[in-house]
Amino acid sequence: MKPRIFVTKPVPAKVEEFLSAYCDCVIWKENAPLTREQLLERVKDVEGLIVTSSSPRIDQELLDAAPRLKAVCSMSVGYDNIDVQALRQRGVVATHTPDVLNDTVADLVMTLMLSSARRAGELERYIREGKWQKKELDGRYFGVDVHHATLGIIGMGRIGEAVARRAQFGFDMKVQYYNRRPRTLDKRLEAAYVSLDELLETSDFIVVLTPLTPETRHLIGDKEFAKMKKQPILINVSRGPTVDEEALLRALEQKQIRGAALDVFYKEPIPGDHPLLQYENVTALPHIGSATHATRFKMAMLAAENMANLISGKPPLTEIR
């Protein structure tokens, strides 16, 4: 009898076919998101769970409801919704999907940077609303250059390195980064390791790429905004709570920053009347960092391969350490 697993969202047909060779695979295919109560009801007899970063939290309560659980495989690189320590104490292995999304997320960072700098979203709305009345726009609608500007990356992991390559080689940007400690980078990169204060004080564009931990929650707040050089652009593609949203609203109101480009928010999805959306200089996207067909397929397949290995008694490919 094959081990039973539960998958919290639909996966591509090829991934489902792959999983079916190893296990009895039950997949949540409803249009409505899976609730915590529904998840707790469905884990009673499963040995494996495949989840995403938006799935209900995997914690002690869930472990108590799933006495046969052996593996939790996330189709995301971030795992702040998984209590890894609780799983380890129970002997449950957790995996995620690093690396396969690096270039895709880095592409989105550059999209946000360029869109914010040249005010693409704002000016696209300007045309749609019929406001373009004369051929030559006046300076009120001008943007700023990305080329040769200074980029500060907070959280220089593999995605940060992919962003740095694009910035340096594609746009001749000066790249600097802040991390808990210096990293050994691609030798071609000329990225300087600096303190957080120096990064804030000297960067024209600031990209937040750090994972969400107790230490990085509200990493960017009032104090950090006050230290920033005159009117930088802030880009957040990490997790919403790494930036204090109330402090961000104050920074926008006081024109401490030129604008913000956000793919993540405190609570998702955000409503159309969210205070951040009142600002024309805020570029907002619905958490699409890895959202291309090819990358999402790779993420789902890597999670499936991790699950197949674990229920077959083999080591996982990408265990959360």
Q: Name the residues annotated as catalytic.
A: 239, 268, 287
How many Cβ atoms are within 10 Å of 278's Cβ, its own excluded?
Answer: 11
Token pair recorded at residue 119: 């005010």
Residues listed for the chain: 321
Answer yes or no: are the C-beta atoms of 135 and 129 closer than 8 Å: no
d(CA 196, CA 257) in angstroms, rounded, equals 17
Answer yes or no: are the C-beta atoms of 207 and 152 closer than 8 Å: yes
Residue owning tokens 């998958």:
7
What is the DSSP secondary structure assignment for residue 257, as one 8-state letter?
S
At 222, give phi and psi (nearest 5°).
Answer: -55, -45
Name beta bridge partners: 175. 151, 191
Which H or E run contains 112?
A: helix 102-117
The 8 Å CB, 24+ separation contacts for 33-42 are 34/8, 34/9, 39/6, 39/8, 40/65, 42/6
Q: Is 287 left (phi over 0), alpha (psi -120 to 50) or beta?
A: left
- For residue 255, which amino acid is it? K
Q: Is 155 left (phi over 0), alpha (psi -120 to 50) or beta?
A: left
Answer yes or no: are the C-beta atoms of 310 and 70 closer than 8 Å: yes
Report CA torsion sign: 62, 68, 70, 71: negative
Answer yes or no: are the C-beta atoms of 304 and 312 closer than 8 Å: no
